[in-house]
Each structure stands twice: as structure tokens, then as C-alpha cells.
């Protein structure tokens, strides 16, 4: 790789189809996806990427069948209970972008614990977009800005793009250099609407559970070769 991207964001799509394709349930697909996610976190730390943002659950995903939603909400509990000691060893810092307040108690508690325990780590930042909506992020920023103007904490003339960014979940993080979506769909699905304005987009046909380290590296290299100046479609690699 010529230069190492600072911030990579991934729309982890295709878990449900992967489960079906392998004669298993959608939830088993999500579990397989969580294993791939672990591999990509390791790979990102090894490559020297500074921030990895992973789209884990969108606010639209609440519309799915209760059984699947319950499983998706139980996954972070399993995931962090198992992986936290290793993240501490690897100096990995966990952030969450999204509406944490409205998560089920168990899920909220475990992600808050993960953020607290890792807050002084200085290595790879893994930023989970969980109960996330790009439009809602901008909406809640707008509400807070209006409040701050009313309370004379800021004045309207001061409000430039940098200041607005301080009201987003991703405050203090640089914009993603690259947004990768697996699973073949060429959609943004309400992900990082503000932050991805200038990002390179990379659409990969493989379903997320199959998007292991070698494909990840290949995708990053393809984008760097210039294929991804606007949109790069990686055909079955």
C-alpha cells in the first residue's frame, strides 16, 4: 500500500444473505459477520490505520423481525465481554457513534463499559456506528446548536463547518478517507451523511462474512490505485 489511509469506514452488509446461502439463519450470518469484524480490526491495527468505523446497526434496522433485532442487540454483549481484555492489550480504543440512550440496558451498559475502559488507549480507534442514522445525527446537532444559540453559548456568525462538526457523534475524528460497502448494493443507507462528502467510495460484491483480511487489503489497494476516485466496483476478486 502506497499510503496508509487514516480513517476507513465499512458498511458491513450481506450477513443475512450469507446465512441463507449457507443453509443457516440470518442470525448465524450475523455471528459469522462478527468474526470477520474481529479479523478486520486486527488487520487495521496491523496496517497502522488510525480509525476504523464499522456500521453495525442503523436506526432503520429496528424494523426487522424481533428475533433478529434481539440477536443483533445481544451480539455486542458477547463481543465486548470476550474481546475487551484483548483490546486493552492491543491499546485499542472503542468509540460509539449513535443513539446509545435508546439501546436495551444490557447493550447500552456493555458499550459504555467498553468506551470507559479503553478511553486512555492510544492505538487504533474502533468507532462502532450503533443505532446510527446520519440524518438523525444532523437533526440532533441542529437542535443542540439552536439551544446553544438561544443560551448565548455560541453566535450564529460563528457557526462554520468546523463548529458544526463538533455537534456530530464523530466530533474530533477526521472524515473517512474511504467508505467500503460489502454485499453488492450501491447505497449509502444513511451512513455518515455529512462526513463522507469527500470520501472515496468502494463497493464490493462479496457478502460481509467473506470479506476477510486479503480482500480488505485488496480493496484498500484498489482504491489507492485510483479506481476509487469516485466509485470503484470490485468485481468478484
Do residues 159 and 145 touch, judged by C-beta distance below 8 A? yes
Question: Is-catalytic flag, 61?
Answer: yes
Three-class secondary structure of residue 82 per DSSP: helix
Residue in 106, 135, 147, 187 binding ligand IPE, rule: CB under 6 A: 187
Distance CA(52)–CA(95), nearest Å, equals 10
Angle between helical axes of 66-89 and 26-47 (0-180°, round to 10): 20
206 binds Mg ion per the rule CB under 5 A: no
79 binds ligand IPE per the rule CB under 6 A: no
134 binds ligand IPE per the rule CB under 6 A: no
Question: Is-catalytic flag, 70?
Answer: no
Distance CA(82)–CA(179), nearest Å, equals 27
Distance CA(92)–CA(120), nearest Å, equals 9
Q: Which of residues 2-21 bind Mg ion (CB under 5 A)?
A: 13
Binding partner of 108, given Mg ion, ligand IPE, none, CB within 5-8 angstroms per partner class: none
Residue in 25, 74, 121, 189 binding ligand IPE, rule: CB under 6 A: 189
222 binds ligand IPE per the rule CB under 6 A: no
Residue in 7, 9, 15, 180 binding ligand IPE, rule: CB under 6 A: 15
Q: Which of 14, 3, 6, 7 is nearest to 189 (CA)?
A: 14
Q: In what order do the strands lie in the sheet with 200-204?
A: 93-97, 125-132, 51-58, 7-11, 178-181, 200-204, 231-234
Whichever of 15 and 118 has its CB closer to Mg ion, that residue is: 15
> Cell digits for 215?
480482500
Stretch in the footprint of ligand IPE (CB under 6 A) among 9-17, 112-120, 145-153, 226-234? 9-17
What is the contact surface with ligand IPE in residues (CB under 6 A)?
Answer: 11-17, 30, 55-58, 61, 72, 183, 185, 187, 189
Amino acid at each position: 500500500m502506497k499510503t496508509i489511509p487514516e480513517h476507513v469506514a465499512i458498511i458491513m452488509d450481506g450477513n443475512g444473505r450469507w446465512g441463507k446461502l449457507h443453509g443457516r439463519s440470518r442470525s448465524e450470518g450475523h455471528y459469522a459477520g462478527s468474526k470477520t469484524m474481529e479479523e478486520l480490526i486486527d488487520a487495521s491495527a496491523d496496517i497502522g490505520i488510525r480509525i476504523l468505523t464499522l456500521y453495525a446497526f442503523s436506526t432503520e434496522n429496528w424494523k426487522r423481525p424481533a428475533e433478529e433485532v434481539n440477536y443483533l442487540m445481544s451480539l455486542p454483549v458477547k463481543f465486548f465481554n470476550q474481546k475487551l481484555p484483548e483490546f486493552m492489550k492491543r491499546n485499542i480504543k472503542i468509540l460509539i457513534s449513535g443513539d446509545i440512550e435508546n439501546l436495551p440496558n444490557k447493550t447500552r451498559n456493555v458499550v459504555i463499559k467498553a468506551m470507559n475502559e479503553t478511553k486512555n488507549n492510544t492505538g487504533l480507534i474502533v468507532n462502532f456506528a450503533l443505532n446510527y442514522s446520519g440524518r438523525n445525527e444532523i437533526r440532533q446537532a441542529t437542535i443542540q446548536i439552536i439551544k446553544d444559540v438561544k443560551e448565548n453559548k455560541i453566535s450564529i456568525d460563528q457557526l462554520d463547518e468546523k463548529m458544526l462538526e463538533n455537534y456530530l457523534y464523530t466530533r474530533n475524528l477526521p472524515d473517512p478517507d474511504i467508505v467500503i460497502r460489502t454485499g453488492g448494493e450501491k447505497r449509502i443507507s444513511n451512513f455518515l451523511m455529512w462526513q463522507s462528502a469527500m470520501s472515496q467510495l468502494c463497493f464490493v460484491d462479496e457478502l460481509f462474512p467473506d470479506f476477510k483480511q486479503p480482500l480488505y487489503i485488496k480493496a484498500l489497494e484498489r482504491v489507492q490505485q485510483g479506481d476509487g476516485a469516485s466509485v470503484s466496483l470490485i468485481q468478484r476478486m
